[in-house]
Amino acid sequence: MTDAETFLRLAFAQAPASEANAAISRTREEQEDSRSYELVLPGGDVRAFLLERALPKLVDYLESVGAKLPGCGGVFLSVFAGDTLHFIHARDAMQLLAEWSGASLEELKRRYGPR
């Protein structure tokens, strides 16, 4: 299984990317006014992209909006991969990214959280 497949298997729902606005709004309502954090997966090295580019920004965002690690309450990721939009709970994504990075969630918070 590729890293992209492993990451996208975390999705709790999917929708066509062409219906993104409606799908994100619907998911916010279903998740009780959750916040959406959008990502576009590259076609290349997904693990490197997620760990080097997305993870630092995601941790900073989560901590800044009060969606503290480890639970990341109220935030889901809207991940565009090809023509499909995948919805992943931020807590699930963070668990996998912590595992891939070899760092604990506390270490990631210290490393990338707001200063």
pLDDT digits (tens, 9 = 90+) for 6-50: 999 999 999 999 999 999 999 999 987 789 999 999 988 999 999
pTM of the model: 0.94
104 neighbors 98 (Cβ within 8 angstroms)? yes
Position 107 pLDDT exceeds 80: yes
pLDDT score recorded for residue 13? 96
Give the whole-number percent of the chain exceeding pLDDT 70: 100
- Taking residues 86-112, report their average pLDDT: 96
Show the DSSP H helices in the chain as ranges: 3-8, 20-30, 46-48, 55-64, 90-101, 105-112
pLDDT score recorded for residue 115? 76
pLDDT score recorded for residue 91? 95
pLDDT score recorded for residue 31? 86
- Long-range contacts: 27-32, Cβ < 8 Å, 24+? 27/76, 27/78, 27/87, 31/74, 31/76, 32/74
- Taking residues 103-111, report their average pLDDT: 94
Cα 81 to Cα 79: distance, rounded to the nearest angstrom: 6
